[in-house]
Chain A
Amino acid sequence: MPFKHLTNTKLSENQVTDESLYINRRQLIKSALTVGLFASSSPVWALQFTRNNQYSANLALTDPEHALKYNNFYELGTDKSDPYRYADRLKTDGWTVEVTGECLKPQTFNMDDLYQFTQEERIYRFRCVEGWSMVVPWIGFPLAKLLKQVEPTSKAKYVEFVSIYDPKNLPGQEYRVLDWPYREGLRMDEAMHPLTLMATGIYGKELPNQNGAPIRLVVPWKYGFKSSKSIVQIRLVEKQPTSSWMAATPSEYGFYSNVNPNVAHPRWSQAKERPLGSFFRKPTLIFNGYADQVAQLYTGMDLKKYF
């Protein structure tokens, strides 16, 4: 019975207004499994985790059928259906994450090392820059815990994330749609923020490949592309890194990319979002609804200028 921890959890999600989107969690996970959405070569043991109720807002979860099959993961192709279709082209065995740069104890972690951190489940909102959104139960641990282990020096002002580069296997990397490998970055205080998660699982199981297996970043108050998938290297650096999207289109994708209904993307408005599975849009919240926890990081900053 791999889902023992899920029994007897009294849920608050059913208090939300949108009944059509609500399915109880056990059903959710069961349906996700039966449909075989987790087509990853996941290890034989089940991911052990506990639910962190502090981060389980009163939100209706997105149907995993959507969250696991509608993805942006350009390494596997630019169509939303490509990542799920070509999921098996992502090779994750023997995965390591190198944490290096301005720190006293640089270290390379394998997945067993990373599973040593207490894995917790958190329900987060997720908002894509394209204007769609979802609510997902991630499993993972705060990035801060990982960074503290390598003891960053005072020179570590920023953190850079580098994703997998494997053009032999990844169909999307045959083309220079973006400058591979995919790179992203955070300011040190953003990286150390308790909301910033290194995710190893979703919907009660290991991350399937299309969602960025075996380990990815989740920064819930920023647009989705900031949450790098399939990370192989984390670098502590002194200067602000240039992300892949910044390099591709600097006028449209900035370093901060905080979710903000008042700052339009040059080509479309960001005032509203369409939750996956619904026909109509709803208003987007400043910092994706996490303003009370993160707004102080940006005190005095002009969010239009630092978009």
Chain B
Amino acid sequence: MNSLWRIVLLSLLCSIPALDLGWRFYHFDLGANPVETLQHTTGDWALYFLLATLSITPINNLLRPRWSNFLAMHLTRRVLGLSAFCYAVLHLLAYWFFDLELSLPLLVEDVLERPFILMGMLALILLIPLAMTSTAAWQRRLRQRWQSLHKLVYPITLLAIIHYVMLVKADLFQPLLMLLIFSVLMLLRNKSLLKNLSQR
């Protein structure tokens, strides 16, 4: 299977939640609070895809080398990262359009007045350069710097989780679970820890 087909197939897979939302939107089947459904679902998926993006390297390290070529990890990671970006944009639009009716002054006011919105906004803004430089051409052009630029995904994911923690009313279970998964994925990037794991 050549790489283009892989990308197309994986992209289609990743767009299932969005297509499902679109379908339910069209059929007026988003529940009692349709906007909340749109906002929460897109936000959840943006975070899921960020965590999925971050799990590629650990999986690669743990399964090496048999599977990583077969799974074309770099392509998979690119699609997952771009999916995270797309869901984050949808998430912003669901909020900006339905809550603020696309008013720019209200958006600025919200970002300045409400710390949790600021956190989410920062995460989204930082995702933009990563999405723009996600192609192979950019990878070649930036060489060493591409690596360090794309390490921004760590603080981005943390900001997104903080955004989630800050908006919850009382039940912190979900966002803290995300934080736990994030921490594990970060620890699995630690070379010496990985050595110990693989020597067992």
Contacts and interface: CB of A to CB of B under 8 A. Distances in A.
Interface of A: 65-67, 69-70, 74, 78, 80, 130, 132, 175, 177-178, 248-249, 267-268, 274, 276-277, 279-281
A268 B35 contact: no
A70 B98 contact: no
Given A70-B31, A267-B114, 17 more contacts: A65-B32, A66-B32, A70-B32, A74-B171, A78-B170, A175-B171, A175-B173, A267-B116, A268-B114, A274-B33, A274-B35, A276-B33, A277-B34, A279-B34, A279-B35, A280-B101, A281-B98
A168 B35 CA distance: 35
Contacts of B33: 66, 70, 80, 132, 274, 276
Interface size class of B (residues with CB under 8 A): 10 to 19
A280 B36 CA distance: 11
Contacts of B36: 132, 274
B32 A69 contact: yes
A129 to B, nearest CB: 8
16 contacts: A66-B31, A69-B31, A74-B171, A130-B169, A132-B33, A177-B170, A267-B166, A274-B33, A274-B35, A274-B36, A276-B33, A277-B34, A279-B34, A280-B98, A280-B101, A281-B99
B171 A78 contact: yes
Given A177-B171, A267-B166, A277 B99 contact: no
Interface of B: 31-36, 98-99, 101, 114, 116, 166-167, 169-171, 173
Contacts of A268: 114
Interface of chain A: mostly helix, strand, loop or mixed: loop
A177 B101 CA distance: 34
A80 B40 CA distance: 12
A54 to B, nearest CB: 28
Contacts of B114: 267-268
A277 B116 CA distance: 26
Contact of A276 (B32, B98, B169): B32
B40 to A, nearest CB: 10
B34 A267 contact: no
Contacts of A65: 32
Nearest to A68: B32
Listed residue (B35, B99, B170) with the most chain A CB atoms within 10 angstroms of its CB: B170
Nearest to A280: B98
A80 B41 CA distance: 14
Contacts of B173: 78, 175
A277 to B, nearest CB: 6
A66 B28 CA distance: 13
A24 to B, nearest CB: 20
B30 to A, nearest CB: 9
A16 B35 CA distance: 23
A151 B170 CA distance: 37
Nearest to B110: A269
